[in-house]
Amino acid sequence: MKYGYKKKVELGFDEAVVRVKEELVKEGFGILMEIDVREKFREKLEIDFGKYVILGACNPKFAHEILLKEMDVGLLLPCNVVVYEFGGEVFVSVISPANVIGVVENDELTETALVVDERLRKVIDGLC
């Protein structure tokens, strides 16, 4: 996947969500939003969907740096992290800022995007 990283984890879904949040905090990220896709689909579409949570993570220092260089890059914020269950297995995916930032075509953003990318990889690597 060119736009992110994915890892199958040996954790239950709920435990994986908790662990991801803990790992994000270790890397300086806060959670700006949490969307329970299953609940929203049930509420809005009256359909059952598997366990799927989207976490909108943000590191204020890096968000500030990048917004100073390109105001419209906020369209790509926050960094999304997804935890879902599929086929009885639990997966965690994170966006790759280093890969996605290329659509902006502003070389001044590359260095910060690479640092954020590295930190998000550490979040994934920190999970069992």
Ramachandran bin of 80, using left for φ above 0, alpha for ψ from -120 to 50, beta for the remaining angles: beta
Residue 104 DSSP symbol: G
Q: pLDDT for 49-69, tens place per residue?
A: 999 999 999 999 999 999 999
Instruction: Provide the residue ranges of all domains of the chain, joining segments of one domain with +.
Output: 4-125
pLDDT, residue 20, reads 98
Instruction: Compute the distance between CA of residue 89 and CA of residue 100 in angstroms, rounded to an integer.
Output: 27
Predicted confidence (pLDDT) at residue 17 exceeds the cutoff of 90:
yes
Asked if the peptide bond before residue 78 counts as cis, ω within 30 degrees of 0, the response is yes
pLDDT, residue 127, reads 93
Ramachandran bin of 127, using left for φ above 0, alpha for ψ from -120 to 50, beta for the remaining angles: beta
Confidence of residue 98 (pLDDT cuts 50, 70, 90): very high
CA neighbor of 126 nearest in space, from 14, 33, 16: 16
pLDDT, residue 1, reads 83
Confidence of residue 48 (pLDDT cuts 50, 70, 90): very high
Mean pLDDT of 41-55: 97
- Residue-averaged pLDDT of the chain: 96
Superfamily of domain 4-125: TT1751-like domain (3.30.310.70)
Predicted confidence (pLDDT) at residue 128 exceeds the cutoff of 80:
no
pLDDT, residue 45, reads 98
Mean pLDDT of 75-103: 96
